[in-house]
């Protein structure tokens, strides 16, 4: 049960893309550019991830229309076309219809990020991870990028854990509307801080394409994200302690197999790379503040203050980066974006 691009269209459209790549530095005509973008949009109807790499090409169409005589493609627009050759190959080979229909996801991942850490856990299988941003890398990226990075790394961690077969479907749930949208499509420019956004989106999509995996994203209110919030913000408790705290306070929000595990070294290096890549100066890192923990299903209404460091932290001369401030009330939740359906039972969410 596959849907595929016919051989004639695949051959002709690939030749068109190659001609554009050979025209590097030369002006391309508006009508020719419009035709190619329209054809690629046709493919994007079954290759949803391709929407990440059409926005800049549409911008080239607008430039060509403004100048009447056409335009030259930028280096990033050319790189998008190189990736589109891979999309065309996959579309010609065939896309499993199970990746294009509403279905129950194989895994549901929830993530959160703050200026000082990232947290992610699986709502179905139980593993959880967290990453404390090194002190010298704090303040280099905006919070929206960190939320997007947390979403991407959540799937990478799950890939290592599950070793999924082709056709495996992920549902990424986040309380950040920007990250939710960027998992579907993006129109990032190639300069400034957005260069990192663009590079991460391109690498993320290439990995999903190579493994024939599907990713959907869903927004939900921050009041339902206490577990991921605690993972990203509690940088003092050990993995065992934070596992115990979450299992005792939020037993209905995590599976019985929930357990916080150390972050693999290769994933930690991946995170450090993207946080420090192509950064803009942003001054001193912001002071870390802990989000108040709401009453769980059991236990008292607040966590006890902890002053001891984990063994890993004791081996590092850097002091604990945050203290326990006075609790503050959570902000008013954002409205639910159009098209995002939230169910009462998170285990029954569909994408």
Across 121-137, average pLDDT: 92
Please classify residue 49 by burial: count the beta carbons closer than 10 Å to its beta carbon, then call 0-12 exposed, 13-18 middle and 19+ buried: buried
Regarding whether 65 and 28 lie in a shared domain, the answer is yes
Regarding whether 149 and 82 lie in a shared domain, the answer is no
Is the distance from CB of 211 to CB of 106 less than 8 angstroms? no
223 lies in which domain range? 108-348
Regarding whether 118 and 85 lie in a shared domain, the answer is no
Residue finishing a domain among 36, 66, 99: 99
Is the distance from CB of 49 to CB of 91 less than 8 angstroms? no
Regarding whether 285 and 172 lie in a shared domain, the answer is yes
List the CATH number of the domain containing 170: 3.30.420.10
Regarding whether 135 and 60 lie in a shared domain, the answer is no
Write the pLDDT tens digit of every residue in 262-308: 999 999 999 999 998 754 444 444 555 555 555 555 544 433 433 33
Name residue, tokens 């896309």.
Answer: 95
Residue (of 114, 321, 301, 295) closest to 236 by Cα position = 321
Least-confidence region, from 48-52, 106-110, 221-225, 261-265 = 221-225
Least-confidence region, from 40-54, 213-227, 337-351 = 337-351
Average pLDDT across the chain, whole number: 77
pLDDT at 88: 94
Structural domain count, the chain: 2
Regarding whether 132 and 246 lie in a shared domain, the answer is yes
pLDDT at 13: 95
pLDDT at 314 over 60: no
Bigger pLDDT: 178 vs 147: 147
Regarding whether 252 and 313 lie in a shared domain, the answer is yes
Across 198-219, average pLDDT: 83
The pTM assigned to this predicted structure is 0.70
Distance CA 135, CA 338 (A): 38
pLDDT at 75 over 50: yes
pLDDT at 65: 81
Residue finishing a domain among 69, 99, 129: 99
Contacts for 250 with CB less than 8 Å, ≥ 6 apart: 226, 227, 296, 297
Residue finishing a domain among 50, 70, 99: 99
Q: Which residues of 281-297 are buried (b: 16+ CB within 10 A; e: fewer)?
A: eeeebeebbbbebeebe
Regarding whether 299 and 162 lie in a shared domain, the answer is yes
Regarding whether 263 and 161 lie in a shared domain, the answer is yes
Residue (of 187, 182, 188, 104) closest to 146 by Cα position = 182
pLDDT at 337 over 60: no
pLDDT at 204: 86
Regarding whether 217 and 152 lie in a shared domain, the answer is yes
Regarding whether 335 and 231 lie in a shared domain, the answer is yes
Q: Where are the alpha helices (DSSP H) in 212-238?
A: 226-233
Regarding whether 282 and 222 lie in a shared domain, the answer is yes
Contacts for 272 with CB less than 8 Å, ≥ 6 apart: 134, 137
pLDDT at 66 over 80: no
CA angle 18, 19, 22 (to 5 degrees): 85
């Amino acid at each position: 049960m596959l849907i595929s691009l016919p051989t004639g269209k695949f051959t002709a459209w690939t030749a068109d893309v190659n001609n554009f790549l050979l025209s590097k530095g030369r002006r391309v005509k508006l009508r020719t550019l419009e035709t190619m973008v329209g054809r690629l949009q046709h493919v994007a109807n079954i290759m949803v991830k391709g929407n990440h790499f059409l926005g800049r090409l549409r911008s080239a169409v607008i430039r060509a229309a403004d100048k009447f005589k056409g335009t030259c493609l930028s280096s990033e627009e050319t790189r998008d076309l190189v990736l589109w050759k891979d999309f065309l190959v996959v579309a010609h080979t065939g896309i499993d219809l199970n990746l294009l229909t509403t279905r129950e996801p194989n895994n549901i991942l929830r993530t959160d990020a703050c200026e000082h850490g990232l947290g992610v856990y699986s709502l179905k299988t139980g593993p959880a991870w967290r990453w404390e941003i090194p002190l010298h890398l704090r303040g280099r990226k905006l919070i929206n990028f960190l939320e997007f990075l947390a979403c991407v790394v959540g799937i990478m961690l799950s890939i290592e854990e599950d070793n999924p077969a082709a056709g495996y479907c992920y549902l990424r749930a986040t309380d950040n509307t920007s990250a939710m949208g960027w998992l579907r499509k993006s129109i990032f420019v190639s300069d400034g801080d957005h260069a990192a956004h663009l590079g991460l989106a391109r690498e993320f999509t290439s990995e999903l394409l190579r493994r024939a995996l599907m990713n959907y994203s869903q927004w939900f209110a921050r009041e339902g994200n206490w577990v991921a919030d605690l993972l990203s913000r509690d940088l003092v408790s050990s993995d065992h302690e934070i596992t115990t705290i979450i299992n005792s306070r939020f037993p209905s929000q995590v599976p019985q197999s929930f357990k916080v595990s150390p972050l693999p070294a290769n994933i930690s290096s991946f995170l450090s790379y993207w946080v420090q890549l192509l950064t803009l100066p942003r001054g001193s890192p912001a002071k870390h503040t802990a989000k108040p923990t709401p009453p769980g299903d059991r236990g008292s209404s607040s966590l006890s203050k902890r002053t001891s460091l984990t063994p890993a932290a004791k081996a590092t001369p850097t002091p604990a980066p945050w203290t326990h401030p006075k609790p503050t009330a959570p902000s008013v939740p954002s409205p639910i974006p159009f098209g995002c359906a939230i169910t009462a039972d998170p285990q029954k969410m569909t994408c």
